[in-house]
Amino acid sequence: MIWNIVLLVVGFILLIKGADVFVEGASKVAAKFHIPEIVIGLTIVAFGTSAPEAAVSIASAYKGTAGIAVGNIIGSNICNVLLILGVSGIIGSLKVKKNTLKFETPFVIVITVLLLFLGINGESVSRFDGIILLILFIGFLSYLYWLSKNGEDTSLDDVPELDENDTFFKLMIMIVLGIAAIILGSNLTVDAASSIAKAFGVSDRIIGLTIVAIGTSLPELMTSVSASLKGKNDLAVGNIIGSNIFNILFVLGTASIVSPIPIPFSINFIFDFVIAIAALVVFVLFINKDYCLRKIGASIMLAGYFAYIIYII
């Protein structure tokens, strides 16, 4: 048991550090080829914080632990809103951009409902469902590109800048090492989490919704709390909402396409999807007329997350 916990922690570290190294290397290689920063930001950098979820969900789909694949995604999204925005809202005054409140947040609700419908219909997420999700993902990237071209801040993470020490060979080594760490980390995480679930007699769903979801959400937590402490509050919110969209459309869309069989969807996930939708509704309801999250709202969200975890365990 202790060995599996150690492997789980090592897996999380490899996932997070591997994603950082990969994003830095790939972004700088793209910059060397004079690809516009906005394109790099919308693809490589934006993918960075969702890389752990993507690696774990795809590995889970291949290993037949579908409960971890779906639970990781929906659990991460619940964690992102209730825990991370709750903590960030208590630490600082979270300000929300109008387009985030009026378009992107409702869009997350819509695609969450869509994923729930696709999962219930046929009791699985099929390859065809994955294509639908990826088409919507391309549409979302187009929307972000349109926003950037019209002078809107899309709240993307900063693109790493090149310096004289960034040789092409060094950057390619970073990319290879980053990918290797992500793959190894995802395999360790899935295997260790599955073993822990069996040892405690709990389902893959619960492990995916709790330990794995929180572990793979650490990049979002660090990014959002850091942004909140620096006063870049709209960045903290944009990072979370964007990550939730990436998780559903890109991560689960890709996982369902590469999976050799449709990803089974347990009826028990309905409750978790309702919580994910309710979390977004509560978040919106506690935004005041100045587009800031009320402290009482942040506190309720944080308390709600702990209540949810206690209930499902």
**What DSSP string runs through 10-22?**
HHHHHHHHHHHHH
The model's pLDDT over 171-226, given as tens digits with 9 standing for 90+, comes to: 889 888 988 888 888 888 878 887 887 788 888 888 888 888 888 888 777 777 77
Tell which residue, 70, 63, 43, has the closest CA to residue 140: 43
User: Which residue's structure tokens are 């071209």?
Assistant: 149
Question: What pLDDT does residue 40 have?
Answer: 67
Digit-by-digit pLDDT tens for the chain (313 residues) are 788 888 888 988 888 888 788 878 887 887 788 776 656 665 676 677 677 888 888 888 777 777 788 888 999 999 999 999 999 888 888 888 888 888 889 999 999 999 999 999 888 899 999 999 999 999 998 888 787 777 655 555 556 677 777 888 888 898 889 888 888 888 888 788 878 877 888 888 888 888 888 888 887 777 777 777 766 666 678 778 888 998 999 989 988 888 888 888 889 899 999 999 999 999 999 999 888 899 999 999 999 999 999 999 8
Question: What pLDDT does residue 282 have?
Answer: 95
Q: Which residues, at least 6 apart from 10, have a Cβ–Cβ distance to it below 8 Å?
A: 185, 188
Q: Which residues, at least 6 apart from 310, have a Cβ–Cβ distance to it below 8 Å?
A: none
210: tokens are 């709790």
d(CA 287, CA 294): 6
Q: Check residue 159 and report its DSSP letter.
A: P
pTM of the model: 0.84
Tell which residue, 11, 50, 42, 44, has the closest CA to residue 175: 44
Question: What pLDDT does residue 46 have?
Answer: 65
Q: For residues 185 and 15, is the Cβ–Cβ distance under 8 A?
A: yes
Question: What pLDDT does residue 277 have?
Answer: 97
Cα Rg of the chain, angstroms: 19
d(CA 82, CA 70): 18
293: tokens are 């999250």
Q: Which residues, at least 6 apart from 221, have a Cβ–Cβ distance to it below 8 Å?
A: 83, 84, 87
Q: For residues 41 and 160, is the Cβ–Cβ distance under 8 A?
A: no
User: Three-class SS of residue 148?
Assistant: helix
250: tokens are 């890109």
Q: Write out the DSSP string of 114-132.
A: HHHHHHHTTTEE-HHHHHH
32: tokens are 């060397």
User: Which residue's structure tokens are 């402290």?
Assistant: 295
d(CA 142, CA 145): 5
Question: What pLDDT does residue 152 have?
Answer: 59
d(CA 66, CA 43): 26
User: Which residue's structure tokens are 């890709």?
Assistant: 254
